[in-house]
């Protein structure tokens, strides 16, 4: 067990290293540096000598491999320096502050989509061909074919423009949360509804369920004690990565509803060539997603005794 975790963590360090090389390489292959981008945004020309001084200050005139080794050396001590687009804020500070918005959005989305997705999934498994079953299928088709940004805009048209009930963007009162959470929930609802339904149906065919029925247990007891608990295990495999995907923020929902979360900052960091910001965000995302997979595997072994993490041969 411990060996499994240690080897996975060692692998993770390797993954982070390679991802950092790829990101660094891609980032520096883009024409234009941070100071060109800022000048373009402010519609002014930066004199050559000032640009040279700025580049020297941030170490951007050194060869790329030297910049990379410097980055790695500082990264070991978790020192990522100051943002290039917001010179008075550290990268870690920006992440800390902005991530709370993405985290709120992600957790609310997770709560809402779990309630709707798992609920509809159970309902359609327990009562196939009922109204709830068709509703579940209808909702999941809607979630499948609607890109979140299209759905977000349609929500804005209906609830903000036509009805005038909800604000089009921002993140200050509970009324601001409704539309972003709805738009962000599409993919998770689809996945959770489909997997819950399929997994419940598979479990309902198991022999021990037939035995429980033969013993004369009540239908509710069978459904919730025998079927649901066992059907949850496969859900874990999709649930972990899903949760990770939600807490890292959303490019589309955050930019449409003007939520100052991390996805929004990442897109603007790419536009302004904010090198440290891009690097750190990518690495933290990779870390979160890899850790989510690891935790999912561990939980899976914990919940289902048939699963072993160590190879037996």
For residue 238, report the phi and psi dihedrals to the nearest 5 degrees: -90, -30
* Closer Cβ to other proteins, 233 or 255, answer by number: 255
Scanning 127-228, the segments in alpha helix (DSSP H) are 131-145, 148-155, 174-184, 186-204, 207-215, 219-221
CB 156 within 8 A of CB 179: yes
Give the nearest distance from C-beta 30 to other proteins in angstroms.
5
Q: Which residues bind other proteins (CB under 8 A)?
A: 11, 14-15, 18-19, 22-23, 26-27, 29-30, 137, 140-141, 144-147, 149-150, 153-154, 156-157, 161, 194-195, 198-199, 202, 245, 248, 251-252, 255-256, 266-267, 270, 278, 281-282, 285-286, 289-290, 293
* Closer Cβ to other proteins, 217 or 295, answer by number: 295
Q: How many CB atoms lie within 10 A of CB 132?
A: 16
Give the nearest distance from C-beta 53 to other proteins in angstroms.
26
Give the nearest distance from C-beta 215 to other proteins in angstroms.
28
Give the nearest distance from C-beta 52 to other proteins in angstroms.
25
Residue 285 CA: distances (Å) to CA of 53, 81, 90, 278: 33, 18, 18, 11
Residue 206 token pair: 């198991």
Give the nearest distance from C-beta 217 to other proteins in angstroms.
26
CB 57 within 8 A of CB 71: no
* Closer Cβ to other proteins, 153 or 301, answer by number: 153
Residue 242 token pair: 């899903």
Q: What's the angle, vertex CA 164, arms to CA 177 and CA 171, rounded to 5?
A: 25
Does the CA dihedral 120-124-126-130 come out positive or negative?
Answer: positive
Give the nearest distance from C-beta 240 to other proteins in angstroms.
14
* Closer Cβ to other proteins, 61 or 255, answer by number: 255
* Closer Cβ to other proteins, 13 or 214, answer by number: 13
* Closer Cβ to other proteins, 228 or 252, answer by number: 252
């Amino acid at each position: 067990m411990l060996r499994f975790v240690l080897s996975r963590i060692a692998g993770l360090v390797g993954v982070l290293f390679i991802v950092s090389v790829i990101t660094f390489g891609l980032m520096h292959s883009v024409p234009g540096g941070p100071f060109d981008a800022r000048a373009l945004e402010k519609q002014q020309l930066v004199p050559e000598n000032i640009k040279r001084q700025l580049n020297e200050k941030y170490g951007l005139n050194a060869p790329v491999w030297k910049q990379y080794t410097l980055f790695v050396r500082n990264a070991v001590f978790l020192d990522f320096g100051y943002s290039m687009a917001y010179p008075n804020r550290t990268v870690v500070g920006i992440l800390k502050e902005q991530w709370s918005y993405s985290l709120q959005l992600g957790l609310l989305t997770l709560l809402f989509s779990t309630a709707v997705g798992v609920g509809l999934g159970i309902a359609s498994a327990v009562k196939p061909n009922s109204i709830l079953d068709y509703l579940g299928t209808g909702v999941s088709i809607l979630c499948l074919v609607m890109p979140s940004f299209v759905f977000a805009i349609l929500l804005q048209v209906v609830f903000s423009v036509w009805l005038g009930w909800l604000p089009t963007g921002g993140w200050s009162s509970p009324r601001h949360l409704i539309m972003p959470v709805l738009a962000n929930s599409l993919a998770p609802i689809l996945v959770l509804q489909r997997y819950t339904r399929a997994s419940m149906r598979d479990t309902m065919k198991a022999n021990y369920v037939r035995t429980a029925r033969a013993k004369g247990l009540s239908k509710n007891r069978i459904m919730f004690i025998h079927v649901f608990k066992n059907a949850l295990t496969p859900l874990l495999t999709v649930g972990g990565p899903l949760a990770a995907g939600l807490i890292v923020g959303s490019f589309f929902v955050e930019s449409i509803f003007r939520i100052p979360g991390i996805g929004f900052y990442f897109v603007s960091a790419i536009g302004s060539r904010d090198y440290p910001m891009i690097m750190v965000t990518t690495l933290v995302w990779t870390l979160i997603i890899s850790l989510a997979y690891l935790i999912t595997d561990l939980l899976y072994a914990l919940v289902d005794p048939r699963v072993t993490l160590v190879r037996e041969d």
